[in-house]
A and B are shown apart, each in its own frame.
Chain A
Amino acid sequence: MQTTKLPGYYFDGASSKRIATYLVIDSEGYVTIDESPINAMPYNTIKTSLRVGNTPRHLNFPDGSSFESEENDQIDQLNQLFGQKNHANIIHRLETSLKFACIALVATIAITWGFIQYGIPALSTPIANLLPTTITDELGRQSLEYIDQTLFEPSQLTTERKSELEKLFKQVIPSNSPQKFSLIFRQSPVIGPNALALPSGHIIFTDEIIQLAEDDHELEAVMAHETGHVINKHTLRGLIQKSALAIAVVAITGDVSTASSLIIALPALILETGYSREFEREADQYAIQYMDDKKIDRQYFATILGKLEKVALEEESEKQVTDSLESPSWQGYLSSHPATEERIKALLTKN
């Protein structure tokens, strides 16, 4: 290799004075600055800044002065010839390769999707089991307090009817579970016929759903479904998954401006409703299992689901109907639940 001359700017480090000059590297690897009294020094005493894109490089001399140059390719060559090994340049090569960018894109999307689809739900169960029950009790207490203030009014059912249903409820809840359960009656013109499960084991039935059911087996099916939510810790898992999702979104997107991050929040919301749909399937599964064990016709469950769907469609303008309370923010029944038709089909065809 012959003498190399790189155009650029020399800065002495003591002042901002800029000298447009050349960096001269001879065949032995000794460096001088053109038209400058500076002593020749070996190239490997210079620290070169990392190469990122095509940003100018800064060659830092031991005396604190530096040379700024855009001749990136030549500097890379010199680094290879005279300098110390430059591992960081592997990254630069990856960052400039179109092929690798495509691979990285596909891999990033695949990993993100897999993590959201399988990773987070798989992680939430062990984490939910680790958390003490005081958390779920507290959550249930707060939720009940909140919805009592906003949605519910005292139940108008007779005491006889209540004790009838409570007797039924005692049969539905598992006898050997450490989880506590209790049945609560409320009237709610706001949400209409509905049942909710709180993580503390409080299961709320509205007067409206009790009136909607023509047979107590229908209510039994709903009780089993709600019990399934509690047993499988759906509220807690929902919160854990939501938190994990939020942390993942922050980690991946980093610092995007406020207006743009609004748009990022939308896909996150869609994913969340996807999670709650999965919970509904699990709860349905629990109810089906219960009904099969008790030799109750699954048709009862299908009937009440069909009725609820009808009511929901009638009140299309207000999609306030909801089933399990995931959080104080209400999600529409139709979006957070799998399509009712699909649910009914699933429960009537499965063995």
Chain B
Amino acid sequence: MEDFKPNHQYHFEFTGKGTEFFRIWIVNTLLSILTLGIYSAWAKVRTNQYFYGNTKLDDASFQYLADPIKILKGRLIAITLFISYYLLANFYPVYGLYFLIIGLLIIPLLFVLSQSFRMKNTAYRNITFNFHGKIKDSYKIFLIPFIAIIAINAISLTLLPLQEKLLETEETQTEHNTYNDSVQGTDNSSQQETDNKDANKNDNNPPSTDQGSMLSDEELEQLKQGGIALFILSLTLMLLFPVWQYLISRFQLDHTGYGETQFSFHSSIWQFYKMYLLLLLEVIAISIIFALCIAGLVSVLAEGFSTETFQENSGIVIIAIIGYLSIYLYLFAAYSSKHLNLVISSIRIDHIELSSSLTATGFFWLYLTNTILIGISLGLFIPWVRIRSARYRLENIQLFMEQDLNQFTSRQQGDSSAIGEEVGTLFDIDVGL
């Protein structure tokens, strides 16, 4: 790309207005409620068309083409899955993890289907986008890091001493005790019987009629082991997460096309690590500054602090809480801007290069004002928030190219993989970028 001399530069323009969108939003919300959610599919099409239609590149607008009936079908499936997951996870919190795993297993499928649906229904200059990633590849990309994490953790766990003991005690102890305690006890005599059994079985616990909650040495050891396992798990997660993100972005963008023209993703795993490394440095620097500020404040007000009453120190506590929340929001903003900039500027469309100039402070201000606006209006400012957010994100994207935007050609009719798209139209769930 050394000989790349861009002589055309475009940037996205967003012409949506909050006051206009508010009316669309409230009418669609009311109609969705009155039709028990059925209209929400039509509402989604109209909302998306409002945003797509107001997104302009070189004065031409984007178009959302989805058929509301297909969205309705997808929504019915999605809401069924959501409700069953939600209810099961609530009523059987102990098995929540299993439901989560089952839920995670369908994500790769949904990713491909929804991506394909969205791209196919997006048009610009009368040419549609397309996504042709394979479900098989999607599973590979989503699951390989998972398998790696499980493998690393399994190996590290077997290397830990006392591991067998941990499993044994867990099985025998907890299962029996709690079973007795819960199933029994319809009347008071059987309750006492159970209590006695409990006392006999639990030699570690002090002799009592109830199941004690005091921690024995063994349990403490289990806790320690659990802590180490958790540490290794989070370490592997943190180290593999950038790789995973990179692979997903690459999969998504390498298989996207505009008409016959292919997108490609020009980045490397190192770029993703670099982004997180910079973010980590920022976290450390900010934490140190924040800690110093608080320490300074405390020493200035040292006399007040020594009285140990909450009221007199509440000023510092409030400052600390506000400071903490702002830092949290700022880091979220820093992450969002860095991540979006990296992904967008790595996209090549034929010879077109993209750049994105989002900033942490820009996002911080956006998030902060959005949160306050929604908070004080109890949600009524959602339309304005959505318009502002879209405008900020879009208007920071530039395109550089050698030629103008007239050079693209549409795909030949009928060469789309029929089965994938048929299934794809069943779902409409937004995942990804």
> Which A positions have Cβ atoms within 8 angstroms of B?
9, 11-18, 49-50, 52-56, 58, 64-66, 68, 91, 94-98, 100-101, 104-105, 107-108, 111-112, 135, 137-142, 144-145, 148-155, 159, 162-163, 166, 169-170, 180-186, 200, 202, 239, 242-243, 246-247, 250-260, 262-264, 266-267, 317, 328
In contact, A155 and B209 (Cβ under 8 angstroms): yes
C-alpha spacing A40/B189, complex, angstroms: 94
Given contacts A16-B125, A144-B182, A184-B210, 7 further A-B contacts (CB under 8 A): A12-B126, A13-B410, A137-B183, A184-B185, A243-B86, A267-B378, A328-B93
Is B186's CB under 8 angstroms from A182's CB? yes
CB pair A154 B375 closer than 8 Å: no
B279 part of interface (Cβ distance < 8 Å) = no
Question: With a CB–CB cut-off of 8 A, which chain A residues contact B206?
Answer: 154
Picked from A186, A264, A328, the residue with its CB within 8 Å of the CB of B379 is A264
**How far is it, in angstroms, between the C-alpha of A184 and the C-alpha of B181 when the chains are bound?**
10
With a CB–CB cut-off of 8 A, which chain B residues contact A264?
Answer: 374, 379
Interface pair A16/B49, CB less than 8 Å apart: no
Sample of 14 A–B contacts (CB below 8 Å): A11-B127, A16-B126, A50-B49, A53-B16, A56-B53, A91-B42, A95-B23, A101-B26, A104-B26, A108-B26, A149-B213, A155-B208, A183-B191, A252-B33
In the complex, chain B residues 58-91 whose Cβ is within 8 Å of any chain A Cβ: 60-61, 63, 79, 82-83, 86-87, 90-91
Contacts of A16 in B (CB 8 A): 124-127, 259, 405-409
Give the A-B contact count at a CB cut-off of 8 A: 225
Q: Are A17 and B210 in contact (CB under 8 A)?
A: no
Q: Does B382 contact A (CB under 8 A)?
A: yes
Question: For the complex, is B347 an interface residue (Cβ under 8 Å from A)?
Answer: no
- Give the distance in Å from the alpha carbon of A149 to the alpha carbon of B42 in the complex: 50
Counting CB contacts under 8 A, is B24 at the interface? yes
**Which of these, A13, A54, A184, A242, contacts B20 with CB under 8 Å?**
A54
By secondary structure, the B interface counts as helix
Separation of A170 and B212 alpha carbons in the complex (Å): 25
- Chain A residues with Cβ below 8 Å from B34 are 111
Residue on A with the closest CB to B59? A9
B residues less than 8 Å from A97 (CB atoms): 23
Say whether, besides A55-B53, A66-B126, A135 and B91 are in contact (CB < 8 Å). Answer: yes
Residues of A within 8 A of B22 (CB): 101
> Residue of A at shortest CB range from B408?
A16
CA separation between A256 and B410, bound complex, in Å? 34
Cβ A154 vs Cβ B91 within 8 A: no
B50, CB-defined interface residue at 8 Å: yes
Evaluate contact between B40 and A251: CB separation under 8 angstroms: yes
Complex: A239 Cα to B87 Cα, angstroms: 9
Contact with A along B402-429 (1 / 0, CB 8 A): 0001111110000000000000000000
Out of B27, B60, B184, name the residue touching A94 (CB < 8 Å). B27
Residues in A neighbouring B386, C-beta threshold 8 A: 256
Chain B residues closer than 8 Å to A96, beta-carbon distance: 20, 23
Decide if A247 touches B86 in the complex (CB within 8 Å): yes
Which of B20, B91, B332 neighbours the largest number of chain A CB atoms within 10 Å of its CB? B91
> CB-nearest residue of chain A relative to B332?
A259
Q: Are A141 and B188 in contact (CB-based, < 8 A)?
A: no
Known: A58-B63, A252-B33. A137 touches B182 (CB 8 A): yes
Q: Known: A155-B208, A182-B191, A267-B378. Contact between A257 and B389, CB under 8 A?
A: yes
Specify which chain A residues have a CB less than 8 angstroms from the CB of B32 in the assembled complex: 251
B209–chain A nearest beta-carbon distance, Å = 7
Contact A153 B182 (CB under 8 A): no
| A239 touching B329, Cβ below 8 Å | no
By Cβ-Cβ distance, the 3 closest A-B pairs, closest first, are A55-B53, A154-B208, A141-B182
Q: Given known contacts A56-B61, A251-B40, A260-B371, is B27 in contact with A101 (CB within 8 Å)?
A: yes
Q: Which of A251, A255, A258, A262 has the most CB of B within 10 A?
A: A251
Contact: A112 with B33, CB < 8 Å? yes
Q: Is B276 an interface residue (CB 8 A)?
A: no
Task: Please state if B379 and A255 are interface contacts (CB–CB under 8 Å).
Answer: no
B211 part of interface (Cβ distance < 8 Å): yes
B306-326 vs A, CB cutoff 8 Å, 1 = contact: the mask equals 000010000000000000000
Given contacts A18-B405, A145-B178, A182-B186, contact A251 B191 (CB under 8 A): no
B231: CB under 8 A from chain A?
no
Check B90–A243 contact: CB distance below 8 A: yes
Return chain B residues, CB-CB under 8 Å to A151.
213
A184 to B87, CA, bound (A): 29
Which residues on B sit within 8 Å (CB–CB) of A250? Answer: 82
Enumerate chain B residues within 8 angstroms of A53, measured Cβ to Cβ: 16-17, 20-21, 24, 50, 53-54
Q: Mark B353-379, 1 if CB is under 8 A from A, else 0.
A: 000000000000001001100110011
Question: Looking at the complex, which one of B29, B126, B187, B378 makes contact with A104 (CB distance below 8 Å)?
Answer: B29
Q: Do A108 and B29 contact each other (CB < 8 Å), given the known contacts A180-B186, A185-B210? A: yes
Once bound together, how far apart are the Cα atoms of A105 and B381, in whole Å? 12
Q: Is B46 an interface residue (CB 8 A)?
A: yes
| Min CB gap B14→A, angstroms | 11
Chain B residues, CB < 8 A from A14: 409-410
A247 touches B26 (CB 8 A): no
Which one, B42, B87, B382, contacts A253 given CB within 8 A?
A: B382
* Nearest A residue (CB) for B179: A141
Tell me the smallest distance from the CB of A111 to a CB of chain B, in Å: 6
**Contact of A111 with B33 at beta-carbon distance under 8 Å, contacts A154-B210, A202-B185, A263-B374 already known:** yes
In the bound complex, CA of A98 to CA of B26 (Å): 11
**Docked CA distance A50–B68 (Å):** 12
